[in-house]
Amino acid sequence: MESKTDLQQKQRRKAPKSRTGCPTCKIRRLKCDETRPHCQRCIKFGVECDGYPPVLKRKSPRKREAPPHPAQQAQQATKVPSLGPTSLEKSPFANAEEHRYFDLFCARTGYEIFPAFDSGSTRLRLLEFCGFNPAIRHATVALGALDKTSELVQDFEKLSLTSAEREAAANEHHQNALQQYAKAVKYMTADAAEKHPDMRTMLLTCLLTLAFESWTGNLDLAVKQVHAGIRLIQEWKAKYKGQEEKKPPRLSPAPDLVEDDLIQIFCRLAVQNAFFADEHSPELHSILGMEGSRYCRTMPDEFSSIYEASNYYNGLIRRGVYFLTAHPGDLLKDPEICRWAIKEQEEIQADVWRFNKAFESVAKKIDCIWQRHYALFIQLSLSIGYIAVSTRLSTDEMIHDDYNPVYKRVVFLAESVLKEMPSRNKKRPTNFCFDTRVIVPLWMAGLKCRERSIRRAAINLLLSWPRREGIWDSVFAGRVLQWVMKVEEEFLEKGEEVVPGWARVPGVRWSGVLGERRAELVTVQRVSKEGEERVRRSKTITW
């Protein structure tokens, strides 16, 4: 008779073997223990394990697979250094704790804080640089620790810790994040003084600094990083002046030195800044107009994929925001500028309609969560952008009432985007990203739509889904809009639902230390329906 050991060995030989491990470990280039149904490595680091693909028989016809996410294509093409715990002594990390934070960044944080849809090249560059650049390595570890802090602070009911244990653990992760960030800043300063880093390295360090400062609430410092990055890009692009017109339209004049995706992130941050502050630097305005009109001219009648659509979407958004920041409300006084502005407005409106029609075929083919999320995001962004462009040349705030149905759609789409937010961890999505997703559209709806139910719905979403996107804080935006709404609705007549035109404020400015969650809000408002006299309204808020 066969022994028990012989039987076990025989069964193992007959059982189909997985040669790749779970897809999650494969993407991270880590050794998978192949425990089923979910591997222990994924469970240990608190990330979602994608399970195992079925073993197909040799004679079975291969089923046609859906095209991979562009980020997966980039990962397959670019080899990320393996930094598993078993070879920790050979890795650049000082201890296992640093490696755990880095591993969390690789598995979750890096996917969720970068734009909703890109090729993944920027994230992969960061991972590669961690092998030899101490500044980027410590900054990446700091973001992983910050993500862990955010998880413990937010998701109370899903954790087994007591309140005291949870607070202590969160404080420990937060302290580790601050220590790692301090080391990163020290290396960044030394590198800037001694090594004169290349453009890609400077932009990556700028981006990581921005992410940490914004995530921790230091919005003032985050805004400065946006402007610093944009200045670097503009100075670098000036060296290639005259060469770009001869090449196909793209953001980077030298993609082998700085990828388009990295430039794209700063373009999106410039879009955020355009709504965040009234004053715009020449560099910021210039980067918004970069290649936007050239992209629009080459738009096809039908997009072949959502990735192709995303390129034209980004160009269209930049062109629209360039238009918004270039033309103040009184531009109609100059006949020549007026003719140009009206023509530009009409062309952008037509391009939005062209885009929507070309996007229809792609929208019908969507079959996975990240595509569905991104499609909703595109529709949301273009809806609010269309209103902003269409109303920009009017000085009458009543014009926004004509777009109340579109504002209602904006709020509906924003809520859908929040509910469809994909996460690599089922417990909760990360509450920070570089991208503009819902805060700016909801800000515009809450500021310019005076239909009470729509406005309140927009403000409630900002306050009930606390998150930070680039340089925007949703709670800060919600508190500002609450005050603006109160100022305007003081003059509502009994039984009325819409603020009278004369009582509407054109906008709001703020000053103060945003990092301390305190700001002074200022706006101007007409005194009465009959006169043109205006009074200054102000309030200091905290959040």
**pTM, whole model, 2 decimals?**
0.76
**What whole-number distance in Å separates Cα of residue 309 and Cα of residue 361?**
11
Torsion angle defined by CA atoms of residues 501, 506, 512 and 515, in that order, rounded to the nearest 10 degrees: 100
Verify that 37 and 122 share a domain, yes or no: no
36-37-41 Cα angle (round to 5): 65
Q: Which residue type does 403 have?
A: Y
What pLDDT does residue 248 have?
55
Burial class (CB in 10 A: 0-12, 13-18, 19+), 286: middle
Query: 222 and 138, same structural domain?
Result: yes
Asked whether residue 96 falls in the same domain as residue 238, the answer is yes
Q: Are residues 153 and 229 in the same domain?
A: yes
**What is the CATH classification number for the domain harbouring 43?**
4.10.240.10
Which candidate, 294, 275, 276, 274, places its Cα nearest to that of 285? 274
Inter-residue contact 25 to 41 (CB < 8 Å)? yes
Residues 97 and 153 in one domain: yes
Q: pLDDT tens per residue, the chain (543 residues)?
A: 555 455 445 544 444 444 457 766 665 556 777 777 677 766 666 556 666 655 444 444 444 444 444 444 444 433 444 444 455 556 788 888 999 999 999 988 888 888 666 667 888 899 899 999 999 999 999 999 998 888 777 543 434 456 676 677 778 998 999 999 999 999 999 988 887 889 999 999 999 999 999 998 888 899 999 999 999 998 898 888 766 555 555 778 888 899 888 888 888 888 888 888 766 667 776 777 666 666 678 889 999 988 889 888 888 888 888 888 875 555 566 777 788 888 889 999 999 999 999 999 898 888 788 888 889 999 999 999 999 999 988 889 999 999 999 999 999 999 999 988 766 554 556 688 888 889 999 999 999 999 999 999 999 999 999 989 989 999 999 999 999 999 999 988 777 778 899 999 999 999 887 878 899 999 999 988 888 889 999 999 998
Q: Which residues contact 442 (CB under 8 A, 6 or more apart)?
A: 410, 411, 414, 458, 459, 461, 462, 474, 477
Cβ(410)–Cβ(467) below 8 Å: no
DSSP label at 88?
G
Token pair for residue 33? 């223990």
Please give the structure tokens belonging to residue 114: 């970068």
Q: Tell whether 211 is covered by a domain.
A: yes
450, part of any domain: no
CB 344 within 8 A of CB 392: no
Which amino acid is residue 416, in one-letter code?
Answer: S
Query: φ, ψ for residue 240 (rounded to 5)?
Result: -105, 15
Q: Per the structure block, which two tokens stand in for 339?
A: 């003719």
Distance CA 102, CA 106 (A): 6
Residue 331 counted as domain residue = no
SS (H, E, C) 389-421: HHHCCCCCHHHHHHHHHHHHHHHHHHHHHHHCC
Note the Cα 530 to chain centre separation in Å. Answer: 45
Pairing of strands 509-511, 518-526: antiparallel
Tell me: do 236 and 95 sit in the same domain. yes
Question: Are residue 102 and residue 232 in the same domain, yes or no?
Answer: yes
69 secondary structure, DSSP code = P
Residues 25 and 138 in one domain: no
Question: Domain range holding 135?
Answer: 91-245
Does one domain contain both 104 and 200?
A: yes
Q: Where are the alpha helices (DSSP H) in 78-198?
A: 96-104, 110-113, 121-129, 134-154, 163-194
User: Do 146 and 24 lie in a common domain?
Assistant: no
524 in the Ramachandran plot: left (φ > 0), alpha (ψ -120 to 50) or beta?
beta
3-state secondary structure of 528: coil
pLDDT value for 73 = 44
Residue 124 domain flag: yes
**Which residue shows structure tokens 């050979």?**
90
Alpha helices (H) in 327-393, listed in sequence order: 335-364, 369-391
Q: State the amino acid at position 78 in one-letter form.
A: T
- CA–CA gap between residue 271 and residue 399 (Å, rounded): 23
Number of domains in the chain: 2
